[in-house]
Structure 1
Amino acid sequence: MITRHFLTIPASAAGPERRVHYRKCGKGPVLLLVHQSPRSSKEYEPLMREWGAHFTCIAPDSPGFGQSDPLGGEPDIDAFAAATLEFVEVLGLNHCHAYGFHSGGIILAHAMKQRPSRFIALAIGGYPVWTAAEMELFGERYTVPFNPSAFGEHLTWLWNRVMEQSWFFPWFDVRDETRMSVAHADLARVQAIVMEMLDAGDAYRSGYRAALSAAPWIAPEHVATGPVLISAYNGDPLQGHIDRLPPLPAGWRTNKATSPAAHHADCLAFLLSHAGEACPNLAEDDSEGFIVAGGGLVHWRGKIGATHLVLHDPGAELSNPGPGGIAIDVPGHGLSDAADNLAIVVEEAACKLGTHEIIWPEVPIGDPVLLNPDLAPQRFGEHLQRAWGISRAEAFFRPWYDARAAAAIPVVQSEITPEAIALRTRARLRAGNAARQWHEALVKARA
């Protein structure tokens, strides 16, 4: 099972205190996995389940992505590399294997430059070696600002940008010459990346900028490092960059794989060929985390053994538990896994968290089916605009679908800022059909 954790990095000369979210799975020596931009550690879940038979896989969300706090200012690749090393140190690791894909590989290579002895072996999937012309072409066009707009126009751009990045590379250069061989209209995949972009917000630009402006690092002859494999598969736009690499030092080699599966198999065999150390006890926060309830993970924040458990409304997310309290994301909402019987899982979670007083929210006014329509991904992203429209309308009417004077509620300006609507929209999209389940469960619980 993949578990999830938070770890606070103490304030230092490098920057203020920041929080890192990471996933863990498997047994054996530690393998650190660093994801590409603008993804999160979630993209590694299938790989973690496979490689977890051989390694204790640790996959953090890089700063500014997923649930990890961003770095301040305009961090370069060395800042992301240093932040990765800082995470490894606070986590409690001395040495580990590592794997990174695209920008994740760049971060790890520069981390190896800073601390060569930290990594037993490093496998990189797609290592960019940009030409001056390519870097000029990318410029700011690849990292346009991403901020919420009043009526959700940014979501139309986001859906199409994510969809078309599998059609053309770079995504904005729409020509036959830039067509990708791996084009798709995989709605589940596009939706997953869209949700990760909604988590990152405008901070996504920092990670991209750092990677796009970074020069590839190859160990000079006088620097001893662990062995390194640079691999890329057919269809990866960075496979051709292997031919651009300068002569490699001893212990470094390249590989061109025929498919993603072959690439992963080659990387795994390479990593396994170098012995590692047993996984030590790893650090994590005690004020926020995840527990197993109902067969899935439930996200909590507050104090274990609190006097009361605070629950949120359908389609919302974890509430402020207040002094002495604890709060959870109801199953299927926020960061919690989905479940069949939400009320039973909530009670199980309360017991495991050491509290038996549950503060249930009021039953929302309105029909649960109308309040919580289907928001399954649609071909042209219409579901995103629907979620935004609902999240805006609910600030004006109760229930939101009853746009009559009789259903009007006072306008609270702080609730209709694009940022506030964006948070409600993300929560609604995360919940999906679980919002209706939770509404119906509340009706029964409060009967």
Structure 2
Amino acid sequence: MITRHFIDVSSGGNKRRVHYRKAGKGPPLLMVHQSPRSSKEYEALMEKWSPHFTCIAPDTPGFGQSGPLPGNPEIAEYADAAIAFLDALNIEKCAAYGFHSGGIILVTAVKRHPTRITTLAVGGYAIWSAEEMALFSDRYLPEFHPSDYGEHLTWLWNRILEQSWFFPWFATDDAHRLSVANDDPMRVDAIVREMLDAGNAYQAGYGAVLRAPRDIPAVDADVPPCLISAYNGDPLQEHIDRLGDMPPTWSAQKVATPEEHQTVSLNHLLATETAMIDGLPDANDEGFIAVQTGEFNGLIHWRGERGANQLVLHAPSYNVAGNQTTGQIAVDLPGHGLSDNWTDAVPVAWAPWHTLVSDVADVLGTTEIVYPNLQVGEPEQLYPDLSPDRFGNYLNMAWQIVRARHMFAPWYKVDAQHVVAFDEQQLKPEHLAAEHLALINGHSAKEYHIALQSRLKED
């Protein structure tokens, strides 16, 4: 089972919160994701490698649920942040794996902190030519901010979609076509959500990787062993031929498939012994608890003061936001925010929700439940299907909903009789962006609303 955690990390005189995933047993394996992804991209690989390692995958600074580094950090600071993360977990040494930009961060970490990594496997290592770097220039990483009417969402969908068609994504010509083109809305949606989590912070982490020196350690460098591999279809496979001379314990190879890359990487990592570790620490005011009821078996995200008297429930299609009031703790209910969804069909009766909430309250030590107010309207219309579609229309639909529901109640009745007063500040794009992400993450909003309605009728 993959568990999720938060920990506070101090580096360079600053403290920031880091979110990470953990799975398995055995010696520790640090897994650093590519940009602009998060540790979620490693879930399947963590399951596969968990019999061999305690897989630990943090969201790198500014991505996923991890706080960014201050200022304008370069690659050395991202490498040092990875080591500071190990320090916070009390891990002296570990094996490591990184894909693409994750590999750049880890190679830098190996050069700066060679005694902290026992062995390293990398999926694709970029050695850009001067001409390629000139092509990237500023076009590869434009600023990404929410706009009043959701225009940023149209750009984002197409930018992520066409990243599998061309590399770089804006070089739309035959010379830059890729062999792995797809139009799978679920694959695109996964990356879109991670970009929405990161916002413009993606520029810093991605930019530091692109600007990073591509100097492989010298032949006589005292560094841990490393394997760099890349599969057919990976735009970095041809870069294997550009690596040049490497230390004697370093090697590189081209492989046919992603599965073969994973196999050779695992075999390489297992060839070097890494010491076991004890339990890992957690933040004391935010985390995840594992809950198992008849209809739910997964993780529930919580934030606040453990042992507080009140457990606060958010409204349907919203989530835990901001710091909690003293004496309160809040949770993301199933199918909302950072929590898992219901295991099977989402219940519309209140009883299963009540059972889950009661179990969560017992674990967190709360005694009083604070229920939310419900939006005015019919659930079927309040919460339309926002499943990802081929053209990304669901993103714009959700944006229009979060705008309209500040002005009308219910939001779908746009006339003089349903006008409501609103604070103009609530229409600021950054405010709408948070609501928009909560809405598209609210997979069980309609059923939760119906369940709350049934609770009110029972009372």
Picking from 367, 370, 380, the partner of 1:359 is: 370
Aligned counterparts, 1:52-201, within 5 A = 52-201=50-199
> In structure 2, the residue corresponding to 1:212 is in which secondary structure?
helix
What's the counterpart of residue 315 of structure 1? Answer: 317
Displacement of 1:325: 1.0
Picking from 222, 225, 234, the partner of 1:227 is: 225
Q: Does 1:444 align with 2:447?
A: no
What's the counterpart of residue 9 of structure 1? Answer: 9
Q: Does 1:407 align with 2:418?
A: yes
Name the CA distance, whole Å, in 2 between partners of 1:217 and 1:229.
15
Displacement of 1:305: 1.5
Name the CA distance, whole Å, in 1 between partners of 2:232 and 2:265.
15
What's the counterpart of residue 349 of structure 2? Answer: none
Displacement of 1:355: 1.3
Q: Deviations over 1:63-82 (max 9, x none)?
A: 00000000111111111101
> In structure 1, the residue corresponding to 2:260 is in which secondary structure?
helix
Runs of 5+ unmatched residues, structure 2: 347-351
Name the CA distance, whole Å, in 1 between partners of 2:128 and 2:220.
25
Aligned counterparts, 1:292-311, within 5 A = 292-293=290-291, 294-311=296-313
> In structure 1, the residue corresponding to 2:361 is in which secondary structure?
helix
Displacement of 1:431: 0.9
Name the CA distance, whole Å, in 2 between partners of 1:362 and 1:267.
51
Name the CA distance, whole Å, in 1 between partners of 2:76 and 2:27.
26
Q: Deviations over 1:327-346 (max 9, x none)?
A: 00111100000014433322
Larger mean Cα displacement after TM superposition, 212-221 or 32-41: 212-221
Picking from 276, 286, 289, the partner of 2:287 is: 289
Displacement of 1:419: 0.6
What's the counterpart of residue 435 of structure 1? Answer: 445
| Contact 2:219-2:246 at 8 Å conserved across structures | no
Displacement of 1:263: 0.3
Runs of 5+ unmatched residues, structure 1: none
Displacement of 1:280: 2.0
What number of residue pairs does the alignment pair up? 444
> In structure 1, the residue corresponding to 2:135 is in which secondary structure?
helix
> In structure 1, the residue corresponding to 2:316 is in which secondary structure?
coil
Q: Deviations over 1:346-381 (max 9, x none)?
A: 222111111131111123211001000000001111
| Contact 2:219-2:245 at 8 Å conserved across structures | no
Q: Does 1:381 align with 2:397?
A: no
Larger mean Cα displacement after TM superposition, 160-169 or 217-226: 217-226
Displacement of 1:406: 1.3
Name the CA distance, whole Å, in 2 between partners of 1:61 and 1:114.
21
Name the CA distance, whole Å, in 1 between partners of 2:422 and 2:374.
21
Name the CA distance, whole Å, in 1 between partners of 2:282 and 2:324.
20
Give TM-score, length-normalised by structure 1.
Answer: 0.98
Name the CA distance, whole Å, in 1 between partners of 2:303 and 2:332.
9
Picking from 307, 320, 327, the partner of 2:330 is: 327
Q: Deviations over 1:245-289 (max 9, x none)?
A: 111111000011100000001100110111111122212201100
| Contact 2:221-2:247 at 8 Å conserved across structures | no
Displacement of 1:222: 4.2
Name the CA distance, whole Å, in 2 between partners of 1:430 and 1:182.
28
> In structure 2, the residue corresponding to 1:98 is in which secondary structure?
strand
What's the counterpart of residue 271 of structure 2? Answer: 273
What's the counterpart of residue 407 of structure 2? Answer: 396
> In structure 2, the residue corresponding to 1:155 is in which secondary structure?
helix
Name the CA distance, whole Å, in 1 between partners of 2:376 and 2:202.
37
Which amino acid is the alignment partner of residue 7 of structure 1?
I
Which amino acid is the alignment partner of residue 260 of structure 2?
A
Picking from 363, 369, 374, the partner of 2:380 is: 369
Which amino acid is the alignment partner of residue 303 of structure 2?
R
> In structure 2, the residue corresponding to 1:331 is in which secondary structure?
coil
Q: Deviations over 1:275-310 (max 9, x none)?
A: 111122212201100001131100000122210100
| Contact 1:146-1:201 at 8 Å conserved across structures | yes
Name the CA distance, whole Å, in 1 between partners of 2:169 and 2:412.
37
What's the counterpart of residue 252 of structure 1? Answer: 250
Name the CA distance, whole Å, in 2 between partners of 1:219 and 1:176.
35
Q: Deviations over 1:203-250 (max 9, x none)?
A: 001111111111223222443111000110010000000101111111
Displacement of 1:50: 0.4
> In structure 1, the residue corresponding to 2:14 is in which secondary structure?
coil
Give TM-score, length-normalised by structure 2.
Answer: 0.95
What's the counterpart of residue 203 of structure 2? Answer: 205
| Contact 1:100-1:124 at 8 Å conserved across structures | yes
Name the CA distance, whole Å, in 2 between partners of 1:343 and 1:131.
59
> In structure 1, the residue corresponding to 2:17 is in which secondary structure?
strand
Which amino acid is the alignment partner of residue 309 of structure 1?
L
Displacement of 1:139: 1.1
What's the counterpart of residue 239 of structure 2? Answer: 241
> In structure 1, the residue corresponding to 2:259 is in which secondary structure?
helix
Displacement of 1:181: 0.6
Name the CA distance, whole Å, in 1 between partners of 2:278 and 2:117.
16
* Stretches (4+) displaced over 6 A: none
| Contact 1:155-1:384 at 8 Å conserved across structures | yes
Which amino acid is the alignment partner of residue 128 of structure 1?
A
How well do the aligned residues superpose, as a CA RMSD in angstroms?
1.1
> In structure 1, the residue corresponding to 2:408 is in which secondary structure?
coil
**Identical columns (%):** 51
